């Protein structure tokens, strides 16, 4: 389907005329698309962050194996080598209790609780070996294996929490998808009604075009552009709104006392994803709406 530049310009002009003639309805459609895309954008932000957080968590997934008190340095080294030989592990390190306390202080701050722990200079923490699995799915198996090794007092791997979070984020993703689909259909329907009005106004024109032998695509293109235009304009405000809101949320969370676990996705990568998908969906909705409405008028 090759189109001449002058034909393309004509189609775009026609699309513009269509919008101009139905300002009120066009405005209504654009608003409907905007609302749809706004909700979609928020869900998108939530979904992206769910994935981001669960990815981050996955990276942090680790087994902490406490070593029995009184185990000799050589035994500990032997133990570490045993664990490092396991094909399921990615990384294993020995963390003596002094180091553990230091890390704890870094993570939680020098709170009273930590102060109390080591008030008298003693250190209640055990020496541990920290192990990261290659695949987070293997964590349970690996933990059980390590538990059976000699000189291991206990293992801890945050049983279930990570799995549940991963499941939850998958579930949210599906829900977002479904919700977005329903909203898109509703918005397409609204756009198709607007374009139907334009077509109605131009029915005689279309009739004449068909009579003199204009191709169906020649008749269709202006409505395509009209739909796409409504979609694009309708996506600008929701994109700006969503991103501004996210920026605000980010700055609030970053300023306040936050837990390190819930680090949100950084602004730049998120805004590209959100703006791109929202704009794309806007165009798809617009074009879909125009296809729905033009089809019936093009009976041969």
Binding site for another protein (CB under 8 A): 4, 6-7, 10, 204-205, 207-216, 218, 300
Q: Which is nearer to another protein, 215 or 258 (CB)?
A: 215
Q: What angle do CA 12, 18, 19 make, to 5 degrees?
A: 95
Q: Which is nearer to another protein, 12 or 209 (CB)?
A: 209
Q: Which is nearer to another protein, 154 or 203 (CB)?
A: 203
Q: Which is nearer to another protein, 208 or 249 (CB)?
A: 208
DSSP 8-class letter at 256: S
State the minimum distance, in angstroms, from the CB of residue 49 to another protein: 47
Q: Which is nearer to another protein, 84 or 216 (CB)?
A: 216
State the minimum distance, in angstroms, from the CB of residue 6 to another protein: 6
CA distance 258 to 266: 15
CA 104 vs. chain centroid, Å, equals 31
**Are 246 and 52 within 8 A, CB to CB?**
no
Q: Which is nearer to another protein, 167 or 215 (CB)?
A: 215
Strands 128-133 and 63-67: what pairing? Answer: antiparallel
CA distance 55 to 268: 18
State the minimum distance, in angstroms, from the CB of residue 291 to another protein: 15
State the minimum distance, in angstroms, from the CB of residue 217 to another protein: 8
Q: Which two tokens stand for residue 175?
A: 């829900």
State the minimum distance, in angstroms, from the CB of residue 263 to another protein: 55
DSSP 8-class letter at 259: -
- Which residues, 6+ apart, have CB-to-CB distance to 101 below 8 Å? 114, 117, 118, 123, 125
CA distance 193 to 207: 20
**Are 133 and 139 within 8 A, CB to CB?**
yes
State the minimum distance, in angstroms, from the CB of residue 300 to another protein: 5
Q: Which two tokens stand for residue 188?
A: 């397409």
* CA quadruple 123, 128, 133, 136: dihedral, nearest 10: -40
């Amino acid at each position: 389907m090759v189109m001449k530049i002058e034909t393309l310009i004509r189609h775009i002009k026609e699309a513009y005329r269509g919008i101009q003639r139905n300002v009120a309805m066009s405005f209504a459609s654009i608003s409907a698309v905007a609302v749809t895309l706004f909700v979609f954008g928020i869900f998108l932000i939530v979904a992206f962050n769910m994935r981001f957080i669960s990815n981050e968590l996955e990276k942090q997934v680790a087994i902490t194996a406490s070593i029995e008190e009184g185990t000799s340095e050589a035994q500990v080294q032997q133990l570490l080598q045993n664990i490092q030989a396991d094909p399921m592990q990615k990384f294993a390190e020995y963390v003596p209790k002094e180091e553990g306390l230091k890390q704890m202080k870094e993570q939680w701050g020098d709170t009273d609780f930590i102060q109390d722990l080591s008030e008298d200079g003693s250190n209640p923490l055990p020496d541990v070996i920290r192990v990261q699995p290659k695949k987070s799915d293997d964590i349970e198996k690996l933990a059980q294996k390590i538990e059976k090794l000699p000189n291991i007092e206990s293992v801890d791997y945050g049983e279930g929490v990570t799995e549940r979070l991963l499941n939850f984020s998958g579930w949210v993703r599906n829900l977002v998808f479904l919700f977005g689909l329903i909203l898109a259909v509703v918005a397409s329907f609204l756009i198709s009604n607007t374009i139907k009005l334009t077509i109605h106004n131009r029915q005689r024109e279309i009739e004449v075009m068909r009579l003199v032998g204009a191709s169906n695509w020649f008749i269709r293109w202006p409505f395509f552009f009209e739909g796409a235009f409504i979609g694009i304009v309708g996506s600008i405000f929701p994109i700006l709104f969503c991103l501004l809101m996210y920026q605000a949320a980010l700055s609030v969370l970053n300023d306040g006392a936050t837990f390190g676990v819930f680090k949100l996705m950084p602004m730049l990568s998120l805004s590209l994803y959100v703006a791109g998908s929202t704009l794309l969906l806007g165009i798809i909705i617009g074009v879909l709406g125009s296809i729905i409405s033009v089809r019936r008028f093009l009976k041969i």
